[in-house]
Amino acid sequence: MLRCTAVAWLLIAMRVTAIHANSTPQLAVVATAEAEVRSGPSLKYYATDRLINGTEVEIYKQSPGGWCAIRPPAGSFSYIQVDAVEPTELPDVFTCNKAGMKTRVGSKLTQRFNVQYVAL
């Protein structure tokens, strides 16, 4: 599999302070010493990153149980099969050539990448 940077939703359990409470997405700040970003909306999903107090996040959706879908933090990545992408004229930019191909959420904290999340 090829390691590709992708924009995908990740989920995070944390106490946040909303900056703009009435807009979508909502801007929020991590209000605890550290918050773990996870690959899905429960502790059953593997951790992908840790954010420190004061880190701003964009919240797109809030789920029951205190989970928030956020824009992936800087440095986040996903995996996709190499035969599903081809290079473009731009450096480090690829295009997906297979409809419905799913990416797998990568992690800075573990070698696991079994959660499929975004279909391209």
Tens digit of each residue's pLDDT (9 = 90 or more) over 46-59: 888 899 999 998 88
Radius of gyration of the chain from Cα atoms? 15
Residue with tokens 């990740």: 10
Q: What is the pTM of this model?
A: 0.67
CA dihedral 98, 99, 100, 104 (to 10 degrees): 30
Note the pLDDT tens digit of each residue in 62-111. 887 788 888 888 888 878 888 888 989 998 888 888 888 887 777 777 77
Instruction: Look at residues 34, 2, 9 and name the one whose alpha carbon lies nearest to residue 105.
Output: 9
Q: Please provide residue 72's backbone torsions phi and psi, each rounded to the nearest 5 degrees.
A: -55, 140
Decide: 49 and 108 in contact? Cβ < 8 Å: yes
